[in-house]
Amino acid sequence: MESNPGAHRLTSVVFRYGLAVILVAAALGVTSLLQNVVSTAGYLFFYIAVVVTTWFGGRWPGGLAVVLSALSVAYFFTPPIHSLTVDRQSLPVFIEFAASSVVVGWFSSWRRQAEAELRYARDELQLRVAERTAELTHSNVQLLAEIAERKRAEEAYYEAQAELARVTRLSAMGALAASISHEVNQPLAAVVTNADACMMWLSSDPPNLEEARAAVDCIAQQGTRASDVVRHIRAMFTKATPERTRLQVNDLIREVGILIEGAALRNQVQIETELAPDLPATTLGDRVQLQQVIVNLIVNGIEAMSDVADRPRRLVISSRMQSSDELLIAVRDSGVGIAAKDEKRIFDAFFTTKSQGMGMGLSISHSIIEAHGGRLWASRNSDYGATLQFTLPADREITA
Amino acid sequence: MKDSDPIVFVVDDDASVRDAVQRLIASVGLRVQTFGSTREFLSSKRPEAPACLVLDVRLPDSSGLELQDDLAQANVHIPIIFITGHADVPMTVRAMKAGAVEFLTKPFRGQELLDAIQQAIAKDRAAWNERAQMSELRGRYESLTPREKEVLKLVTSGLLNKQIGAELGTSELTIKTHRGHVMEKMGAESLADLVKMSERLNRSDAMSK
């Protein structure tokens, strides 16, 4: 393999110079034949030999062809014939021939080089185009990968956010429940223990009425204390409306939509919104609480569809004016729906049909909507699933 | 009531629960002493009698579980009954592992608490008697002379008088005299009795180490 290029170059050199010799010889033959037919045939074929040699063989074989042609013409065609000398009379013609063939050879060589350069430039251009195309393809692939990665990251982000919201809600409720149970259990413990002590004092012989009376007194006191605790908690829930800002219901829904995207994707639920485009009115309310209600309804809807396999899992969130002074927000799912026997109880605290539910979501949502002066109710759809909807009072002042 | 009568200590920060528990315990004729915090309990002078502790888990200064640990550290062995507003499993496990008698969740029935108290006091009384016997036994042992202690050790390890004499470099007769004194001072009626006493002493030595 190593010697091949060298050998190739050698044969190429032999071929190129050989070409000069052969073509000049051929030109000599043809010109001699013509000379026999017409007295002066001219040296056209020598020119052709020079041009062709230069074209295919290059500059130096071309030069050789010029020299050989000049020698042939001097020897065979210019008097004295069969001598390399040229007599005075034929000298101008010979010089003219020699000069012409040099010029023709040089011109041909120049053309050849120009064309080679052109070809080289074209090849170079093609190569560059191919390289650039490859680069573009590569960066396109990279871009697509980056887009996919970004989408994944965004999804993870929303998922984390939704999870955080859920955990925050749960842990806040857990802490609240622990605190409530402690606050209520304390007086209850006193009541039960006093009642038992009272029984003991009454059944002792003789009965100690004084101690028994003191115990009953304490029972009454502690009963009142327990009811105070309960009233206090209720007040905390119902009166605690720290924020009352003007809210655009459609904005609320859109913001919640972002939070819920991850969960919908994970559960293969298609979420659609049918928002009245020009809801004229805003509502006064607590942004976080109302969003909590919407999230709750959506999550319930998604969970109600988790076992649905024979029809699309579709959740539609819509908003519209219910009447001139009421906004309506509805969440409609294609899930398992609500059993007739459960219809009245779904808003009760601690009522749940879910294996891991606390039964607090709808109950709290109900309280929140009522605290906002609205209503929350559920209905069965004519085909599948349920619709949970609530109204909020429209705030007209801002639009006027 | 006498100073040696059993007594129940109640530690709960909630006065209403504390009073109710006191009233209940008093109704069965037991002595009660109540405290609002663990610090109050620790700084009080407690009578020397069989006792038990009714302890709320959630207390303002340090939790009942911490008090349980502190008492164990201070080598104060008093049976504990925990009462709590809301118990979780790890809390219960920790308390029971550390030797609590009972773990009651508020609200509890009076009888449950009284039963637990009786059980705890019985346990403490047994421990109390055990401690009293031990201190009596230790007193007797300490009244022995060094030579008598040596003889006691060798006798209870099963050697004959002759062998003991050879070991200690004295006559069999001297050993016999020592042995008589040991039996008398320790209040042992037989060799078997003496062996048992010696074993109890050794066991308590090993335990206190």
CB contact under 8 A, A204 and B85: no
CB-based contacts of A285: which residues, under 8 Å, 6+ apart?
A243, A244, A245, A247, A372, A392
| Chain A residues close to B23, C-beta within 8 Å | 193-194, 197, 201, 211, 214-215, 218
Put simply, whether A222 touches B (Cβ < 8 Å) is: yes
Phi, psi values for residue B107, rounded to 5°: -80, 140
Rounded CA gap, A86 and A393, in Å?
Answer: 123
- CATH code: domain B7-128 is 3.40.50.2300
Q: Which two tokens stand for residue B70?
A: 């502190």
Mean pLDDT, chain B, rounded, equals 88
Rounded CA gap, A225 and A258, in Å?
Answer: 45
What is the pTM for the complete model shown? Answer: 0.47
Three-state secondary structure call for residue B85: coil
Given this model, what pLDDT does residue A359 score? 62
The answer to whether the CB of A201 falls within 8 A of the CB of A211 is yes
Please determine, looking at this structure, whether the domain spanning A245-393 carries the CATH number 3.30.450.30: no
Phi, psi values for residue A330, rounded to 5°: -130, 140
Nearest CA in chain B to A212: B23
Give the closest of B19, B86, B111 to A185, CB-based: B86
Task: State in Å, rounded, how far the first CA of chain A is from the last one.
Answer: 93
| Chain A residues close to B113, C-beta within 8 Å | 193
Q: Is the peptide bond before A80 cis (omega within 30 degrees of 0)?
A: yes
For the stretch B135-175, pLDDT in tens is 888 999 999 899 888 888 888 888 888 888 888 888 888 88
Put simply, whether A204 touches B (Cβ < 8 Å) is: yes
CB contact under 8 A, A190 and B16: yes
Phi, psi values for residue B156, rounded to 5°: -75, -15
Which among A183, A185, A193 is the top mutation candidate for probing chain B, defined by the most B β-carbons within 10 Å of its own β-carbon? A193
* Nearest CA-CA distance, residue A192 and chain B, Å: 6
Give the closest of A178, A188, A197 to B107, CB-based: A188
**Alpha helix locations (H) across B47-145?**
64-73, 89-97, 110-142
Put simply, whether A389 touches B (Cβ < 8 Å) is: no
Phi, psi values for residue A327, rounded to 5°: -95, 150
Given this model, what pLDDT does residue B209 score? 54
Given a cut of 70, the residues of chain A with pLDDT beneath it are 1-6, 39-41, 168-169, 171-172, 175-176, 236-243, 280, 348-360, 396-400
Thinking of the domain A156-239, which architecture would CATH place it in? Orthogonal Bundle (1.10)
| Chain A residues close to B85, C-beta within 8 Å | 181-182, 185-186, 189
- Give the percent of chain B with pLDDT over 90: 29
- CATH code: domain B143-208 is 1.10.10.10
| Chain A residues close to B107, C-beta within 8 Å | 185, 188-189, 191-193
- What is the H or E stretch that residue A328 is in? strand A326-333
Tell whether the torsion through CA atoms of B165, B170, B173 and B176 is positive or negative: negative
Domain boundaries, chain A: 3-130, 156-239, 245-393
Nearest CA in chain B to A223: B16
Given this model, what pLDDT does residue A398 score? 46
| Chain B residues close to A191, C-beta within 8 Å | 20, 107
A211, HSE (Cβ side, Cα atoms, 13 Å): 25
Give the closest of A186, A197, A225 to B85, CB-based: A186
* Nearest CA-CA distance, residue A364 and chain B, Å: 23
Q: Which among B37, B50, B67, B20 is positioned nearest to B117, based on CA atoms? A: B50
Nearest CA in chain B to A207: B27
Given this model, what pLDDT does residue B20 score? 93
Nearest CA in chain A to B17: A190
Three-state secondary structure call for residue A378: strand
Q: Which among A364, A360, A268, A369 is positioned nearest to A312, based on CA atoms? A: A268
CB-based contacts of A140: which residues, under 8 Å, 6+ apart?
none
The answer to whether residue B114 scores a pLDDT higher than 90 is yes
Given this model, what pLDDT does residue B7 score? 93
For the stretch B71-109, pLDDT in tens is 888 888 899 999 987 777 888 888 888 889 999 988 899
| Chain A residues close to B110, C-beta within 8 Å | 192-193, 195-197, 199-200
Domain boundaries, chain B: 7-128, 143-208
Give the closest of B23, B28, B105 to A215, CB-based: B23
Put simply, whether A182 touches B (Cβ < 8 Å) is: yes
